[in-house]
Structure 1
Amino acid sequence: TKARDVVPTWLQVRNMVNDISAQFPQGVQGPFFNDRFGDVYGNIYAFTADGLTPRQLRDYVEDVRTKILTVPNTGKVDLVGAQDEAIYLEFSTRQIAALGLNQQAIVASLQAQNAITPSGVIQSGPERISVRVSGQFTSEESLRAINLRVNDRFFRLSDVATITRGYADPPTALFRFNGQDAIGLAIGMKPNANLLEFGEALHEEMNKVLADLPVGVGVHLVADQPVIVEEAVSGFTRALFEAVAIVLAVSFISLGMRAGFVVALSIPLVLAITFTVMAYLGISLQRISLGALIISLGLLVDDAMIAVEMMVARLEVGDNLRKAATYVYTSTAFPMLTGTLVTVAGFIPIGLNNSAAGEYTFTLFVVIAVSLLVSWIVAVLFAPLLGVTILPATMKQHHEKPGRFTALFRRVLVGSVRHHWLTIIATVLLFAASLAGFGLVQQQFFPPSDRPELIVDWNLPQNSSIAETRDQMERFEQRALVGNPDIDHFSSYIGQGAVRFVLAYDVQPANPYFGQTVIVTKSIEARNRVKPALEKLLRDEFVGTDAFVKLLELGPPVGRPVQYRVGGPDVQTVRTLAQEFAGIISANPQLAAPTFDWNEPERVLRVDVLQDKARQLGITSSDIASALNSTVGGSTITQVRDATYLINVVARSREAERGSIGTLQNMQLPTGTGEAIPLAAVANFRYELEQPT
């Protein structure tokens, strides 16, 4: 999708989904849209704390975020790995059943007290006085002090529930830096802003922020895209100037000072016009456009050199400057235009490629086409004008007699024309040899990035918890990364993928069994040493875990270099075929152990509701599902407002009961008559395997 089509496409998707949302089953949440998926966070900072709680550290990071938003051209600023606080009401199902209480009734009573509802406005003369009703919860202490009336009985909430304040359990995502728990601050830039200027302003603001932070709060730079861009552009610019210097030197040596000076003046003129057209088309100086300039530099001087050499040749045979300049246009303008158009045509497939790769490299075609066409215009119009001004009025022939090279060339030319069949055969053979030689050339459209980062993708089995993902990634950090002299720093994203710190980064969806480690080595040589060592360690010590070490990619993300899609009539057949195919390709020594992007079936506990019996008691499947969700995972029943945070109040069973099937079987369900019965009376339990989505 082209950049200009992204916003209209999202709008169309939203409209289409809204049109069919009425057809979704009752109870479906969403769908939810992330139309800012392509946002790039070029600067990432990690905040660590020594002796502070996660909430205290988050308060400092939120304060820094507020200050960063004041920097000109700042876009989105998001926190990474911040742990949300939660207040847990942990009930004992056995105790509630023994007291004859109903957990749903307790929850309803709490929600009614904490609800924010309009209380009216008093009109008193010229004033309007709003009415406010108290009772909302302000902390976990206000919850502990609540006296509830359920079924004409009074009791304190703390008598039937353990009330604790902590953090989301299990967490949805975690962030670590250099082996420490941390909170990340990902900073984006507004569109069309200057990244280098934004980077300078951001660094200046961060220096002020660092001076105000207390002792114990550490701030670490995880990613700094402005510095990377400045280095990359400087490298390409340096290569461009080197190419210009080489071309100028060759021009002066081969053509002489005056003729070489004409070519020397043509080059900056062509570049100046090309830069003007690029600015008009909105093409900035980036990796692709600078590469296109370097490619075209060797071509754009050809036309000017041809024009100057033609003028010199005509002056040597006795023409005056005006006649020599006119001859250049009449005899070479259209042949040079034909050659220029043929060269430009070679890049048309890139310009017309309607794909992600085509969009990424489109400026290659545009810049080459513009620069070559401009060079032709300069060669046929400005170069003769410069020649009339700079070249002498008359010139002697450089050689009265043909030189050795000219004489040799003439003999070869005459012989080739005389034996034309041999010339044709030799040409065909050389062409065939060139085609065969292409097989020896490495074929790679987008080479790996020359940046020092390594990315490790972690894919654990489908049923793995985020705690298991964290344990394995922490063990990897200690075994391979901490103290490694080739590594500058590293960061770990647990339960989610890394944020998009470069445009071409392949962001992965959040999952408890997924994580990514971003490793920044000290050099390219260090990166090349670390990568095979990590692959061997992961292969030997993390058996059963799909951990893939990869480099950043320059072009559109591809992922694993060899990928196959296996199809079939049903799920089991597809899995069987995939296993057989994996066994076949595993015999190739150049391929590592194959993996599957469709994970293994996950184990689920199926609750089969006896519908007739449940219906007689006034119990529905929805009631049972809600009760199970509250018991096992916990359900948010209300919220406590604490400063700028909304803290969820979560009702769930106690830890010893949450993982017990016996607890679920004995879970009390209210019936239509007001009595409670165990879940086992209206449902059967069994395990089964379910295909992953």
Structure 2
Amino acid sequence: MQNQNVILPAGQLDANGTTLILEANGDLGSVDEVGNILTKVEGLSGFVRLKDLMTVRRGYVDPATKPVYFNAQPAIMVSVEMSDSEDIQQIGKRLQASVAAFEQKQPIGISYTFSTYQETNVTVSINNALSNVAQTFVVVVLVLLIFLGLRASMIIACIVPFTVMFALAGMRFLEIDLQQISIAAVIISLGLLVDNGLVVVEDIQRRIGEGDDPKQAALTAGKQFFTPLGVASITTVSAFVPMLILVGTEGEFAFSLGAVVGVMLLGSWLTAMYILPAMSVWFARTNATKSAGRQGFLVRLYGTVVASSLMFAPLIILLTYGAVVGSMTLFAGVKKEMFPLAERAEYLIYLDMPKGTSINRTKQEALAVEKWLLDKKVNPEVRDTTVFVGDGGPRFYLALNPADANPASAFILVNTNEFAGAVSGAKRAQDYLLENHPAARFKVKRLSMGGGESGIVEIEISGPDAEKLLDMAQKVELGFAQIPGIVQNENDWGNKSLKMVINIAQDKARELGVTSEDISNIMNTFFSGTIYSTYREGTESIPIVVRAGEAFRDSLEDLANLSISAGGRLISLDQIATFQPRLEYSQLRRENQVRTIKIFGKSDLLAANQVVDLLQPTLDGLQLGEDYKLNVGGETENSSKVNNLLLGGMPAALGIMLAALMFQFNSVRRVLLTFMTIPLVVIGAPIALLATDEPLSFFAILGMISLAGIIINNAIVLIDQIDIEWQTLPLKEAVVEASTKRVTPILLTSLTTILGLMPMAINGGALFEPMATLMIGGLAVSSLLTLFFVPGGYFMLFGGFSISRS
């Protein structure tokens, strides 16, 4: 076959001045020609045709290397990825149209459908986020209406559309797409940007109420707050600097959040300085009552309490920092989580058969599971299923890491009609698999947001001895098994696989004229098949494989009875060889050239840090020795790395804050007092998380950083007002007067931010609910404390006690 099926150059012929290129062609033109090849067989005279010795047929690779099934039907998967410059919603529409056109051209029985369709998920996420924006805006306007009246609230509310337009222009310049993170940044910014407008408009109204001309009141307020609000905006934005320099997947999330908030605050400051004063002149009332008459009972009561509390300023500061320390200890009881599970209407099933399992056996197991999943009586929420056998499928989601190709593994994607069905269906599938498929190891998961899997704990042990590593890994797996709610417990080496070693009697083989190489080639051809030639059909090249029939290669007896041609006669393999089964490692992994085994564990009841705490006694009991190292990775390690990166950006953030504050105050004591307010963000945050059972997630940490900017903003405006009042009043009276003037803007800003975050805290999804909850709890407590902490600190730092004594 090899000698005939060739197309070779045969030289050139000069025929009457024309050069003819010669080609010797023995090309096989059809499958029948393959079967009609003549050959000689030892022991038979003459020639016989190949088809008389074996069956010649055209077929598919058997077994299939990576078969795919959609709803139990054989399928071909096409993965489409959008380029960065495109819009997923527009791409989705074009894909829908293209698929419909393809299907119309195909024969009956061939259908096209989407296994996973990102456009739907993106649209749902954006619509939910935009709904939260609308709800937040309505809440903010209602709060302003209640406390400031129609005209003032409408003037302040105008800052939102102007700022959003400014932000959209900035997002386009920074190449930030409209996605749920950037929309969430708009929600967070709404309370912050209202602060600038509230401070300016409230001060203008107060001055008009005191009898000033509206235009003069607007000019005076604008001049007074131009620098303080500008510096306050800079310090708030600088709190987001660590997010802007964060790298990796987390950096992609954080950059959008920090950059959009920064652009929004810049637009808010410009609007508050140049647009709102003009609108206040045009629309503000000119017959307002005097400020003293407008101050309500609560403001006067607050002024009385502040005046009384100044003499106890050291005690107030001491108690405040005591509350900070106490709140930090409460964080130990808060669940830790980098990113939550994605709220997508789908879940995943990973199937792992024992190492060495054939792909056909793996396919049978996977299709049996798929059949159960498609049973509408049992799983009415399932819309469709996709099964990848021997492969992990395409990476259709950022946090999805497809499994390595392995004949003993399969991956099943289950789409449900709605998100709630994915949650209940995953739990039902987990119970079914444990009870009905004991031969396989399964992992039932939902996708995680972010760059890594949520809740995973990874124990990494490295050292020279493979047996000792595997022994320690099994002890760790036993430790994981004792932890409540464990749904994943495995190592990346897997079980040992069975290998059959054929020990050939070399002397006897030589006597018969065969070698180990001859026997290996015969065995490989018989059981696995050998490519002897290629069948060419147009531009396609199809390998011609010679292999024994399936009925002759499916048992150990077939191995022992394998015929070997030796010395002019046929002998069975067991006449010149013995068979020795042996267990060996199916795979050994190394990191930095050192053998390393990783054990993975996950609980659906406990967070990763809680699992690590319960596993610690098992880890402490391992006798490592000096040549072995142990590392705890997974979500806890990723969280630690991200936190360290955020901390690494803090010096730059603090440096910008320091420069801005020194420009504003030119006073070490005032800058010190401003920085002293930063720890106040800790108070209230853990209480809110514990009360709502929300985790301290990556976005919750970002929320705490943004809280620092809000508190500093309030402190700057209050300190600046005290400085102004001190020019005409004694220190104590100046502190009290400034505090009463600024209490309304500070409380209204905090209230609008808190109530504006409520929609996100209630219905913001698992990604944003922890952040909104933390910000609400932290802001509610820290804003109230700031109203007493800053006046008391100012009074103490600037000699209030010595003045009082004198």
Q: State the TM-score, normalizing by the size of structure 1.
A: 0.75
SS in 2 for 1:193: coil
Deviation by residue 1:80-131 (Cα, 9 ceiling, x = unmatched): xxxxxxxxxxxxxxxxxxxxxxxxxxxxxx2333334446788999999776
Change (3 A) 1:416 1:626: farther
2:393 maps to 1:502: no
- Does the CA contact (< 8 Å) of 1:504 and 1:557 recur in 2? yes
Instruction: Tell me, yes or no, if structure 1 residue 630 matches structure 2 residue 525.
Output: yes
Q: Which amino acid aligns with 2:445?
A: K
Between 564-573 and 639-648, report the one with greater CA deviation. Answer: 639-648
* CA–CA separation in structure 1 for the residues paired with 2:98 and 2:30: 35
CA contact (8 A) 2:5 2:28 kept: yes
Question: Per-residue CA shift, 1:363-417, capped at 9, x if unaligned?
Answer: 2222222222332333334433444454466754365263211111111211221
Asked if residue 687 in structure 1 is aligned to residue 687 in structure 2, the reply is no
The letter of the residue matching 1:410 is G
C-alpha contact (below 8 Å) 1:328/1:380 kept by paired residues: no
Which of 220, 239, 264 is matched with 1:327 structurally? Answer: 220
Aligned 8 A contact 2:481 2:489 in 1 = yes
Change (3 A) 1:177 1:427: same
CA distance in 2: counterparts of 1:284 and 1:619, whole angstroms: 69
Q: Which residue of 2 aligns with 1:535?
A: 430
Distance change in 2, residues 1:438/1:378 (3 Å): farther
Show the counterpart of 1:244. 137
Q: Is the 8 A contact 1:263 1:305 kept in 2?
A: yes
Say if 2:36 is the partner of 1:145.
yes
Q: Deviations over 1:28-55 (max 9, x none)?
A: xxxxxxxxxxxxxxxxxxxxxxxxxxxx
Q: CA RMSD in A?
A: 3.4
For 1:562 and 1:505, locate their aligned partners in 2 and report how far apart those are by CA, in whole Å.
16
Once the two structures are TM-superposed, the CA of residue 143 in structure 1 deviates from its matched residue by: 0.7
Structure 1 residue 322: Cα displacement: 4.7
User: Does the 8 Å contact 1:360/1:556 carry over to 2?
Assistant: no
Q: Residue type of the partner of 1:114?
A: N
Please name the residue that 1:192 is paired with: 85
Instruction: Determine if the alignment matches structure 1 residue 298 to structure 2 residue 191.
Output: yes
Question: 1:559, 1:650 → 2: CA distance?
Answer: 47
How far residue 602 of structure 1 moved from its aligned partner, in angstroms, is 0.9
Q: What is the 5 A alignment of 1:161-200?
A: 161-200=54-93
Distance 1:341 1:123 in 2: 87
1:566 aligns with 2:468: no
Aligned-partner Cα distance in 1 for 2:60–2:471: 43
Match of residue 45 from structure 1 = none
Q: Which residue of 2 aligns with 1:403?
A: 296
How far, CA to CA, are the matches of 1:130 and 1:323 in structure 2? 99
Matched, 1:594 2:485: no
CA drift at 1:140 = 2.0
Q: Does 1:234 align with 2:120?
A: no
Q: Corresponding residue for 1:426?
A: 319
Partners of 2:311 and 2:16 lie apart in 1 by 114
Q: Tell me the CA shift for residue 438 of structure 1.
A: 3.7
2:159/2:193 contact within 8 Å kept? no
* 659-668 or 595-604, larger mean C-alpha shift: 659-668
Q: Which amino acid aligns with 1:213?
A: Q
What is the CA distance between 1:251 and its match in structure 2?
3.2
Aligned residue number for residue 492 of structure 1? 387
Distance, in Å, in 2 between the alignment partners of 1:441 and 1:457 is 31
* Residues 21-170 of structure 1 mapped to structure 2, 5 A cutoff: 110-118=1-9, 134-148=25-39, 154-170=47-63
SS at match of 1:246: helix
Equivalent pair of 1:340/1:376 in contact (CA under 8 Å): yes
Tell me which residue corresponds to 2:152.
Answer: 259
| Aligned counterparts of 1:345 and 1:125: Cα–Cα separation in 2 | 88
Distance 1:307 1:126 in 2: 99
Which is further off, 358-367 or 404-413?
A: 358-367
Match of 2:169 in 1: 276
Q: How far apart are the structure 1 equivalents of 2:510 and 2:236?
A: 78
SS of residue matched to 1:474: helix
Gaps of 5+ in 2: 588-806
Summarize the Cα distance change of 1:382–1:150 in structure 2 as closer, same or farther, 3 Å threshold. Answer: farther
Rounded Cα–Cα distance in structure 2 between residues aligned with 1:442 and 1:560: 11
2:264 pairs with 1:374: no
User: Paired residues, what number?
Assistant: 583
- Residue number among 324, 337, 343 corresponding to 2:236 in the alignment: 343
* Pair 1:512-2:403 in alignment: no
Contact 1:586 1:592 in 2 (8 A): no
- Code of the residue aligned with 1:145 in structure 2: it is N
* Aligned 8 A contact 2:350 2:442 in 1: yes
Q: SS of the residue aligned with 1:451?
A: coil
Distance change (3 Å), C-alpha of 1:329 and 1:441: farther
Shift in alpha-carbon separation, 1:196–1:595, aligned structure 2, 3 A: same
d(CA) in 2 for partners of 1:188, 1:619: 54
| Range moving further from structure 2, 337-346 or 171-180 | 337-346
1:453 aligns with 2:346: yes
Pairing 1:542-553 to 2, within 5 Å after superposition: 542-553=437-448
SS of 2:484 mapped into structure 1: coil
SS, match of residue 221 in structure 1: coil
**Cα 1:120/1:271, change in 2 over 3 Å:** farther
Deviation at 1:640, TM superposition (A): 2.2
Whole-angstrom CA distance in 1 between matches of 2:294 and 2:414: 67
CA contact (8 A) 2:337 2:454 kept: no
TM-score (normalizing by structure 2): 0.65
Residues 480 and 222 of structure 1: CA distance in aligned 2, closer, same or farther (over 3 Å): closer
Say if 1:421 and 1:519 are closer, same or farther in 2 by CA, change over 3 A: same
Corresponding residue number in structure 1 for 2:201: 308
- 1:200–1:337 distance in 2 versus 1, CA, 3 Å: same
Partner of 1:472: 365
Cα 1:626–1:287 shift into 2, 3 Å: farther
- Give the structure with the higher percent helix: 2
1:144: Cα distance to partner?
1.0
Instruction: Check whether the contact 2:394–2:402 (CA below 8 A) recurs between aligned residues.
Output: yes
Residue identity in the other structure for 1:115 = V
Alignment check: 8 A CA contact 2:7 2:26 kept: no
Letter in 1 for 2:63: P
Contact residue 7 and residue 23 of structure 2 kept, 8 A: no
Q: Structure 1 343/590 Cα, relative in aligned 2: closer, same or farther at 3 Å?
A: farther
Change (3 A) 1:687 1:375: same
Moved more, 116-125 or 224-233: 116-125
Residue 65 (structure 1) aligns with: none
Cα distance between partner residues in 2 of 1:459 and 1:154: 50
Tell me which amino acid in the other structure corresponds to 1:687: P
Relative distance call for 1:111 and 1:373 in structure 2 (3 A) is farther
Pairwise CA distance, 1:447: 1.0
Instruction: Measure how far apart 1:269 and its partner are.
Output: 1.7
Give the unaligned 5+ runs of structure 1.
1-109
Structure 1 CA distance for aligned equivalents of residues 14 and 308 of structure 2 = 110
Contact preservation (8 Å) 1:457, 1:515 = yes
Query: 2 CA distance for matches of 1:127 and 1:281?
Result: 67
1:188 and 1:660 map into 2 onto residues whose CA distance is 45
CA offsets, 1:485-508, max 9 Å, x none? 122222211111132222332212
Q: Distance in 1 between matches of 2:237 and 2:570?
A: 81
Per-residue Cα deviation, 1:233-257 (whole angstroms, up to 9, x for no partner): 1221222222223223333443334
Match of 1:482 in 2: 375
The 3-state SS of whatever aligns with 2:362 is helix
Stretch deviating more after TM superposition (354-363 or 570-579): 354-363
Report the CA distance between 1:651 and its aligned residue: 1.4
Distance 2:497 2:267 in 1: 63
* Superposed displacement of residue 450, structure 1: 0.8
Does 449-458 or 566-575 show the bigger shift? 566-575
